[in-house]
Chain A
Amino acid sequence: MTSTLNGITLKGSAELVADFFSFGINSILYQRGIYPPETFSRITHYDMSLQLTTDPKLKNYLTNVVSQLKEWLFECTVQKFVLVITCLETNEVLERWQFDIDCDKSAKESSAPREKSIKIIQDEIRSVIRQITATVTFLPLLETPCAFDLLVYTDKDLLVPDKWEASGPQIIDQSEEVRLRSFTTSIHKVNSMVAYKRTDSV
């Protein structure tokens, strides 16, 4: 990380946010049981124990997406980052984990580091991940086999790279939304929220 202890640069911020997404996605996939729990291994990051996948395909996919995302974060062209959980049987979207990203585009011009310590940012990130873990208590059980997809909302003028393609927003029909905590690196502000399909039983 290029950021110092007392300040943070755009690059450092992008890396920090991308790291958060990487751990956040792993955490969601583990908590929601999209992949079997035995394919995850326990590691310690942000002073807390997290689950990280060992599935090579999934690992490859995640590194691809997160590295690309890091670039876009650096360019401040990302608006949203969404993890969509789809039911494989009905092709219905069951959950949407949305991370709204507010980029301070002025940071692109001035390279001066912002004054916010990494420790505070990491504290904020930790609380967000804790909240993601806690959401399992109220989210409906995923009873059918599901797969996930990662959507990135970018600026319109962005050049679409190879291996990427346009997608629909994958909105849930009749959803309940819950806002989660947010954190900011003072360059990127990440608002998290989860939307899930309303079940009739409730």
Chain B
Amino acid sequence: MDLEDDTSVLTTLKSFNSFISHTEAPQRLSEGSAGSGNLQSQYKRSMELMEAGERVHSNNRYLQLDGEKKQMELSHKRARYELEKVASDSARDLEHEVDRNQDLLGRLKKFQERETEAAKNLSEQVEANRALRKNMEALNRKLEERDTRLNTANQTISSLKDEIRELTQRIQNQDSTTSSQTLENQELQEQLDLQRRKHQEVSQLCQSLQATQSSCSEHIVKIKELELRLALQEQDIAIVKTVKSEVAKVPDLEKDLKRLREDNAFLRESRENCSLLKEEVEGLRRKLERMEKKKEELVNIELEKERLAEKLKAWENLGQSTGLNIRKPEDLSREVIHIQQREIALKEQNYTLSSRVRSAERSQNEHRAELCQQRSKTLEEQKKRETQDSLVRRLQKRVLLLTKERDGMRAILESYDSELAPTEYSPQLSKRLRESEDILQKTQSHNVEMEAQLTKAQEETGTLKLQLQTVELELESLKKHQASAADSNTSGTKEELNILRQKIEDLESERQRLEEQNNILEMRLERHNLQGDFDPIKTRVLHFKMNPVTVAKQQRQQDIDALREEVTRLSELVRSLQEGGAMVQGDSSINASLSLSLPPSKEVVDLRKQMESLELRNQRLKEVFQRKIQEFRTVCYVLTGYQIDITTENQYRLTSVYAEHMDDSLLFKKGSNGSMQLMETVFSKTLEEMMALHLHHQKSIPAFLSAVTLDLFSRQTTI
């Protein structure tokens, strides 16, 4: 039927085309724009009619299908819901049916999709047609290009018509399939009705079974509880008995407890004491060790002290033995020098003394020799004197003789003179007289001479005697001296010599000792010299003012100062930071100065970054949560058919998709034990029947809600 339709359309299109192509040329002049306008309106009307017809047709089909589908879905859902509670064999059948149903549903959906696609295509085509029509109008107005444009438009129209035909064909196909599906659906519905009835029966049976089972289980539970109670009571009795016996023991136990507590306290104290004692013991042990060490040190020190004391004593002995207060090496050296000087002085004295002794001996010998000489001289002198005495006597005698002779001569002479005349004998006599006188004179002079000689000799003897006396005195003194000298020289000198020798030996030994000491001291001095000691009297030590040591020390001091300053600054900073941490906002001035002086530490920066990222994450989580919640709610709404809102805490308002009014809602309240309770609303009042069945009898809120949904849905669809 449909195919014929199509062919008729095609034939009409062909005839139309041929009509246009043939009749255009003769009619162009006569009819002109009016003819073309007629044709256009005709065409337009036919197209519109066709479209409207098609649209109405498809719409009807669609609505029908939709209704059917919805009904099917509903029935299917109900069937499934009921079938779930049916026994296993019926369930298997149901599942099979459900599978098939699902298949069918899938196919249905596919068909629906195809249908929608086709509808879309159709609308698109319609729109294109419209555009083309507009174009055609434009073409008609522009006469020159009209034919060609019309042709192309016709061609496009024909192609579009083809397409439309195809589409209609498809729709027809779909219609056939849908009709077959509706048939199937009807069959299924019948089956479903059957199964529903069965299910109701089964469910009733099931419910009764469940009721009995539940009552049975309750009874069993009660029995168990009672048994448990019995056992518990028996246990309690036993416990009570034991407790009673224990209660009897309680006072004793309390006493024991007290005692034990006291013991405990005592033990604790003793433990503390013990630890204290241990610490003390440890301390004492350490002390003991230290003391022992000290003792050893003490012994060493004492030994050293003794050695030093010995040394000191030796020194002091030295001092005492020498009778000098030698306390220091310098004293000693001074003493040594003194002693040496004294030694030298004594030596010198010794030498002088020995030399004096020798000189005294020599002088003694000389004196002796002199004495001998003097003795011999005196003897000689004595002899001389004796001789001179004898000579003097002889001379005196001679003088006497001479005087006597002279006197005799004179007498003679006088006698002569008197006797003889002076004339005869005078010359002779006078001559003789004269001669005698001369002789006399001579003798006299000789006498005088002799006397002078005598006096001289006497004087000489006197002097000699004096000399002798002095010599004798000297001799005596010498003798005395010699005696004393001999005394000392013999025994005394020997002793002296011995003493002196000893002294010399002593001095020599002392000298050697002192020399050794001197050497030691010199060595020490050398050592001191080596160590860098110096004589402050003669020497001074100089160094360059800006030497590396002072420079380095200054540098060091500066460094230390700088570091100290930095440390104080940093500690100040740390303190202020610590204080400022609590009241960062409080003292922004300090903070500012701090931030100026100290860039925020890496840690702080890191923490800040972390914080920012966390905040960002939080924000994102919030957004995601919101989105998810929204999504969840919409999904819930779509899947269950209820929009769930939380009006107040623990109160949930459910609004069905199929609610007839916006205010139709169910209100649930969540109890303290988690159970949900339906609150009364205007809408709930209309559902008394369902409430009685599902809530009071079946005690299932989901079942109730599903029932409400189904009810509302059925109401909506029936309308």
Contact = CB atoms under 8 A, between A and B. Distances in A.
B364 to A, nearest CB: 54
Contacts of A175: 531
A164 B544 contact: yes
Contact of A169 (B534, B537, B547, B548): B534
Given A156-B538, A166-B540, A166-B542, A149 B548 contact: yes
A147 B541 contact: no
A158 B547 CA distance: 20
B549 A156 contact: no
A165 B543 contact: yes
A9 B531 CA distance: 31
Contact of A171 (B532, B542, B546, B550): B532
Contacts of A115: none
Interface string A159-171: 0100111111111
B593 interface: no
Q: From B527, B533, B540, B544, name the one whose CB has the most chain A CB atoms within 10 angstroms.
A: B544
A105 to B, nearest CB: 13
B548 A98 contact: no
Interface string B537-566: 111111111111111110010000000000
Contacts of A160: 540, 542
A191 B373 CA distance: 74
A151 B541 contact: yes
Contacts of B539: 79-80, 153-156
Interface residues of A, number: 44
B541 A164 contact: no
B533 A169 contact: yes
Contacts of B531: 96, 171-172, 175, 177, 195
A65 interface: yes
A177 B530 contact: yes
B532 A148 contact: no
A58 interface: yes
A50 interface: no
A194 to B, nearest CB: 10
A26 interface: no
Q: From B539, B546, B547, B556, name the one whose CB has the most chain A CB atoms within 10 angstroms.
A: B547
A15 to B, nearest CB: 20
Given A149-B548, A177-B527, A164 B542 contact: yes
Interface string A79-93: 110101010100100
B545 to A, nearest CB: 5
Contacts of A80: 532, 534, 539
Contacts of B542: 151-154, 158, 160, 164-167
B543 A167 contact: yes
B533 A167 contact: no
A64 interface: yes
A169 B530 CA distance: 11
Contacts of B530: 98, 177, 179, 193, 195
B539 to A, nearest CB: 5
Nearest to A169: B532
Given A80-B534, A86-B549, A147-B548, A153 B540 contact: yes
A150 B556 contact: no
A149 B549 contact: yes
Contacts of A155: 538-540
A153 B529 CA distance: 12
A102 interface: no
Interface string A60-96: 0100110010000000000110101010100100001
A61 B543 contact: no
Contacts of B533: 169, 171
B202 to A, nearest CB: 103
A69 to B, nearest CB: 10
Contacts of B548: 58, 61, 147-149
Interface in B143-181: none
A164 B545 contact: yes
Interface string A16-57: 000000000000000000000000000000000000000001
User: Which 7 A-B pairs rank lowest in CB-CB distance, beginning with the nearest?
Assistant: A147-B552, A149-B549, A147-B549, A167-B543, A177-B530, A149-B547, A169-B532
Interface of A: 57-58, 61, 64-65, 68, 79-80, 82, 84, 86, 88, 91, 96, 98, 100, 145, 147-156, 158, 160, 163-172, 175, 177, 179, 193, 195
